[in-house]
Amino acid sequence: MKKLVKVLALTAVAAMALAGCNSAKDDAKVITMATNAEFPPYEYMENNEVVGIDADIAKAIADKLGYELKIENVDFDSLIPGVQTGKYDFSMAGMTVTDERLEQVNFSQTYATGIQSVIVKEDSAIKTVDDLFAEGASNKIGVQLATTGDIYCTGDIEDAGLGTVERFNKGADAVMALTSGKIDCVVIDNEPAKVFVANNEGLKILDTEYAKEDYAAAIAKENTELLEKFDKALGELIADGTVAEIIGKYIPAE
């Protein structure tokens, strides 16, 4: 009987310890980042995991704030709505600060600068960005849905009657349409553009830039407390060189 009591007591202690471990795990603070892992080297999939510049910077910020980082890979056009509704705490996706987006969410300070580039076939009649705006132009422009490439080309080209914009869920799909001759060019951020050109023979990037832009993290307007903490942590990581080191890891200086 004494042995049975002792066994029961040890079992109870073990159960309490296990419960304590589970409770500690459940109590861990988790912060959720939404991204679209179709934008190398800022975010892309590797071994079923989202990796890249934004993932590394977000992890460094989460560590500073004492959070466990969780990354959700979703369609680009669902990022801002998800942040607005509180489904995600913030979004980092090589996202450009625009007036339209500022009406929907708040943005952190800028942590990187991007360039919108134009991908064409090597024998394309489009030689410079100016050719897209020439009188009588009538090109089919491929973009990723809801990106700044979409926003710019819709206003600059489609609304001006200088061509049509074909929207794709993934930048890779737009590039595939270009290689198959369904569209005349693709407007997309320069870093993924370089990857697409390297992986698809017969394509090139125009020497002239379409636009320059700033990347920042999107946070819900009402979540001012997170914005303040996030911005402070990001500022410290910029100041101590961590952000530059992360970017340099993926984009070596030329």
**Burial class for 15, CB neighbours closer than 10 Å (0-12, 13-18, 19+):** exposed
Give CATH superfamily name and number for 114-213: Periplasmic binding protein-like II (3.40.190.10)
- Run of H or E including 32: strand 30-35
For residue 246, give both structure tokens: 């992360």
Nearest of 192, 190, 191 to residue 206 by alpha carbon: 190
pLDDT of residue 254: 64
Alpha-carbon distance 148 to 25, whole Å?
39
pLDDT of residue 70: 98
Contact partners, residue 163, CB within 8 Å, separation at least 6? 132, 137, 138, 139, 140, 141, 157, 184
Which amino acid is residue 28, in one-letter code?
A
pLDDT of residue 252: 86
For the sheet with 68-73, list strands across it. Answer: 68-73, 30-35, 90-91, 218-219, 106-107
- Is there a contact between 203 and 122 (Cβ–Cβ < 8 Å)? yes
pTM score: 0.82
**Burial class for 22, CB neighbours closer than 10 Å (0-12, 13-18, 19+):** exposed
- Is there a contact between 231 and 92 (Cβ–Cβ < 8 Å)? no
Class for domain 9-111+216-250, per CATH?
alpha beta
How far is CA 34 from its chain centroid? 8
Q: Where are the alpha helices (DSSP H) in 78-185?
A: 79-84, 99-102, 148-153, 171-179
Specify the pairing of strand 68-73 against strand 30-35. Answer: parallel
Same fold, 9-111+216-250 and 114-213: yes
Alpha-carbon distance 225 to 38, whole Å?
30
Sequence spans of domains, the chain: 9-111+216-250, 114-213
Tens digit of pLDDT at every position of the chain (254 positions) = 444 444 444 444 444 444 444 433 345 699 999 999 999 999 999 999 999 999 999 999 999 999 999 999 999 999 999 999 999 999 999 999 999 999 999 999 999 999 999 999 999 999 999 999 999 999 999 999 999 999 999 999 999 999 999 999 999 999 999 999 999 999 999 999 999 999 999 999 999 999 999 999 999 999 999 999 999 999 999 999 999 999 999 998 76
pLDDT of residue 146: 94
For residue 36, give both structure tokens: 């679209």
pLDDT of residue 253: 75
Alpha-carbon distance 84 to 92, whole Å?
14
pLDDT of residue 22: 40
pLDDT of residue 6: 44
pLDDT of residue 27: 53
